[in-house]
Each structure stands twice: as structure tokens, then as C-alpha cells.
Amino acid sequence: MIVTPFAQVLASLRTVRGNFAIITGQQDRTASKTRSSGSNPPSMCKTSLAEEPHQQLAIETLDELDWCLEQLETLKTRHSVSEMASNKFKRMLNRELTQLSETSRSGNQVSEFISSTFLEKQHDMDIMSAPNKEKDKNKWPMSQISGVKKPTHSPNLAPSTIPRFGVNTSQEGLLARELEDINRWGIDIFKVSEYSGNRPLTVTMYSIFQERDLLKSFKIPADTFITFVMTLEDHYHADVAYHNNIHAADVVQSTHVLLSTPALEAVFTDLEILAALFASAIHDVDHPGVSNQFLINTNSELALMYNDSSVLENHHLAVGFKLLQEENCDIFHNLCKKQRQSLRKMVIDMVLATDMSKHMNLLADLKTMVETRKVTSLGVLLLDNYSDRIQVLQNMVHCADLSNPTKPLELYRQWTDRIMVEFFTQGDRERDKGMEISPMCDKKNASIEKNQVGFIDYIVHPLWETWADLVHPDAQEILDTLEDNREWYQSMIPHSPSPNPKGKDEGALSGEATALSEGGGPTLADKFQFDLTLEEEGESDSESPPEDEEGCIVRGGSELCRTSCSEFDALSAAAHLLSKKLTTDSDRTFSFDTEKIMAEDT
């Protein structure tokens, strides 16, 4: 007896296939073996015109069933649907990054940055020698959470003395004007920081919790709330350029706006909203301004404590929850035990998902959810279990964490400047220690503009486009801003002369690249388009799948990568690479419009 669901589905489909063949008189027709395993589904227009309409339809239907059965039979049953999608996305991205790295020195630099930041690290890191024991004598014990310090302000605030926005400021009028836009995407969080006396997280959290009436809903005393948030804000490092209290406030406000999107109206409970905002607030607390990989490579205490796994994210969670134990800081005191447990689990799941090496897994999960909804008859998003609900919340906070390029250009540029300062500071430390300098951290040769273009093309746009599909049409304005910002950074890439052609073929390619680059960038007619398929067997650069095969090519959907070669070094090589139609796998084919390319912060 077959008892496992997957095997039951497979057996049932085989029965359906056999019954259908008998009913239609096609029982002598064997499954076609002309397609290699994992190839595209059969075209619905390939049967002979001599066939009767019902016979033609029967044959086409059997071909479709045979294809589905072939796919199911070759699945690795130990892999989840999510893992399968994630692995496919990673293979696709890896191939594009390999091509990008071959176009120029700066292309290789950006490729390494994206790969090292947004793909899970393989076990090939260069571990430093063990630190000198003398230097370790004064380090904190492993059982103690580092970074927690005594509050610098009184923990006993009188409720009657709490200012309008939670902090005393001489510019309350200007602050009020900025916070009028607390529900709008793209609030100027830098002005909020300035007008609040560098308390952007406190005033943002206080305003949002009042706006959503969460203090009343969960019986959180205002003085306890202010004490906690100010203590939390004090644990963000003022000397860290990017991962500081301003970034935390920005992510909180962005999450607040995404929670309010019409498509998700009344979807999440107050407890889930509370968890999402709390997770956003603590998601980078006590960030030291260096990457997980830096901490691992230097044998840091944090890396040892968390076994090299999501080191900073685990630390942010530990500090965030530890601060609740400080005097008059437990904002969840009046939650029942079940509520506290549920909230803690959700917060842990959301903050761990901000580890950028998990990006492709999150994107694959979200894309699977969106596409599943599209192919079902319901066409609506049913979040009727914890797994689906937390998946949307994880991606929401992840989107908020990667939202800088979707904000007004003047804000985005400030964030870019800040992340590059942080990167370069880490690079200087690596140079001083004799370590290999991490991608995009070497101030002597970093290509900032190309970094931003690639960051958008390979990471931010695919994520936000998939989110936009989920909440369609609510995020279209955000996507438009993202694309405008991408074009601005593309226009700022310095022009590099094409190398002199050294042969007939290179000359032709150089001419092609020059034509593409005229006018400062590709026009709509100049966009390359290439097809990517998703399995590993049968790779070929010479074969091209049909472009309009119904049911197997997804166009205009989430683009895993979009590449523009008009501004790159070695333009002829880039044009050659990007104009080819790629058949890299023997699975369903996805088509990606390759208008764009390069990378940013995390």
C-alpha cells in the first residue's frame, strides 16, 4: 500500500493517464521519449492537421500528462518544492555572474560582491590563525550576551512628562511636519533623525505604535515603551555609517507602510503586526559595521558563539530580547504566555531571514507562492497556515531591508554613500590584518555606480517585482522609482573605451557594442533577450529553445537578472555574451528581459 503523499499523487496521475488513454482510444500510444528528462513541455500545436480535432486534443493531453509524470518521476524526493526552486534560481544567478565576471575587471568585482553577499557561502573561507591568548583575558564569557550596556537615561519616565513624539527636541514643529508622512513610502528619515536629536528610531516607533493603537491593544505603558526603544536605540552604534539607528528607523517605517498595502488589508493580526515592527526595530541592533564573513574569518567571539551561522542576525535577536529584561523595558509584560511565545517565534523567523545569504531562498519561496496562486483557479492569496503567513512577513521585512533603491533618489544616494563608507572601513581593517579584502570593500578600485546597477538588476528588482506580483497593483509606483534610480546610476557609469579589435570577429562584435552604447544607454529596441532553462544536464551555448512556446516561457514576470552592456569595460565581450541565446538546462524555460546590471548594500 502506498502511504506517502508524493507517491500517491504520482500513482494517481498514472491511473488518470491510463484511464484517459483507454477512453480516447490511445492505449497503444506509449509515452514519448524524444524529450530529454526535464525538457520543455510539449507544444500544443505540433500534431498533424490530418488528425480529427478530438484525436488531436487527446494526443496533446497525453503528451502533457507524460511530461508531468516524467518531471515527477525524476524529482529528488528529499528536496522540498521550495528548495528545488531556490536551487534553480541560484544556478541561474551563478551562470549570469560567471558571464558578468568575464566582461571586465569591474564586472568581476561586482559579481564577487553579489555572490559572496547574497548566496550562501561554501566552505572555502580563509580562517585567520587563532588569536593571542593574552588578548583574550578580558573578553566577555561565552555565556554572556555581548553588547548590552547600562542605560544612559532614567528608566523611570513619568507618563505625564512624555513629549508628543517621545523625545524632547527643540525642532518639534519641523519633526511634526516630517512625521505627517509616516504612512507614506519614502519619508525623509534623515530629516527625522536631525529634527529628533538623533532619535529617529524612538520617534518613528512611537508614532507608528500610536497610529496603529498598539500601545492600547497590548496594554503597553507609554513610559515603558519609550524607555525600551531609547535603550534599544542606544545599542545601535553611532560610529557605524550604515547599520545604525537611522537604518533601523527606515526599515521600521518601510515595514509599516508595506503592512498597510491594500492587498494585505486585514490579513495580519495585531500580534503579527507587533512582531513585524519589533523585528524591524531590533534587526541590526549592536551591528559592528562588518559582515558575517569578516567575523567568521577573524575567529570572532560572536562567530564562535553562533557556530558561523547567521552570526550577526542571531546576535541582534539575543541583544533585542535581552534588553527587554532591563529595568522598565519589558513592553510585552501584559501579553499572555502563548502570545509571548508566538511573538518570539515570529520575530526570530523574521530577523534570521534578514541574513542576506538567505536571499535566494526567500525569493524562491515568494516566487513559488506567487506562481502557484497564478496557476490555481482561485487566483487569491490564502494565508491560512503559519508557514505561508510567516513567509510573507519574512519577505516583507526583507523587502524593507532592501528598500533603499526604491526610495527617492536623493535618499537613495545618501544610503549608497553610507554603505560604501562602511564597506571601505571594513576593507581597511582587512588590509591592516593582512586579509584578503572583501568584494566592494577596497576603496582603491571599487566601482560604486556599477555596484548599484548590478545590485538592482540581480537582487533588488527581482525581489521587488515578485513582491509587486503578490500585492498587485499596489507596488507599481515603488517599481517605477526603482527603475528610474537604476537608470540614473547607469547614466553615471564612466564611459570606457572599447578595446581595439584584433580580428574580424572581434571587430564585428565591437561594432555591435558601439551601436548599443550610442546615446548613453540601450533603447527599448536595443534590449537583449535571452532564455534560461533550469536543469543542469544538456548545457549548450549553441541551441536556442523556441521563443513562443505556449505554456513554458514566462515573459514579463520576475526577472532574475537583467543586463545592459552599454557602459561596461570590454564592451565587445559583453555584447557577445549577452546577445547569445542560452540553453543551459533541460527544464522549463524562463525568458528574462536583459535591460540592466550591477550591485549595492545590504
Q: Tell me, what amino acid is at 74?
A: T
From 153, 237, 243, 472, active-site residue: 243
First to last CA, the chain: 51
DSSP state of 540: B
Handedness of CA 8, 10, 12, 14 (dihedral sign): negative
CB atoms within 10 A of CB 551: 12
| Among the listed residues 371, 458, 528, 591, the one whose alpha carbon sits nearest the alpha carbon of residue 94 | 458
Cα separation, 566 vs 596, in Å, equals 9
Q: Is 509 exposed, middle or buried (0-12, 13-18, 19+ CB in 10 A)?
A: buried
CB atoms within 10 A of CB 248: 26
Question: What are the backbone angles phi and psi of residue 43, rounded to the nearest 5°?
Answer: -70, 145
Secondary structure string (H, E, C) spanning 73-100: HCCCCCCCHHHHHHHHHHHHHHHHHHHH
DSSP state of 26: -
Which runs of consecutive H residues, i.e. helices, occur in 376-408? 386-401
CB 40 within 8 A of CB 588: yes
| Among the listed residues 408, 399, 372, the one whose alpha carbon sits nearest the alpha carbon of residue 387 | 372
Cα separation, 517 vs 422, in Å, equals 33
DSSP, collapsed to helix, strand or coil, labels residue 297 as: helix
Residue 396 cell numbers, joined = 516583507
Q: Tell me, what amino acid is at 345?
A: K
CB 247 within 8 A of CB 295: no
Residue 313 cell numbers, joined = 542576525
CB 178 within 8 A of CB 195: yes
Cα separation, 7 vs 73, in Å, equals 9
Residue with cell 488528425: 51
Cα separation, 327 vs 157, in Å, equals 11
In terms of DSSP bridges, do strands 589-594 and 528-533 run parallel, antiparallel, or are they unpaired? antiparallel
> Please, which residues have CB within 8 angstroms of residue 597's CB and are 6 or more apart in sequence?
100, 450, 453, 454, 457, 458, 561, 562, 563, 564, 565, 568
Residue 42 cell numbers, joined = 510539449
Cα separation, 438 vs 105, in Å, equals 15
Q: Is 423 exposed, middle or buried (0-12, 13-18, 19+ CB in 10 A)?
A: buried
Is 283 catalytic? The answer is: no
Question: What are the backbone angles phi and psi of residue 148, rounded to the nearest 5°?
Answer: -80, 125
**Where does residue 259 fall: left (phi above 0), alpha (psi -120 to 50 degrees), or beta otherwise?**
alpha
Catalytic residues: 243
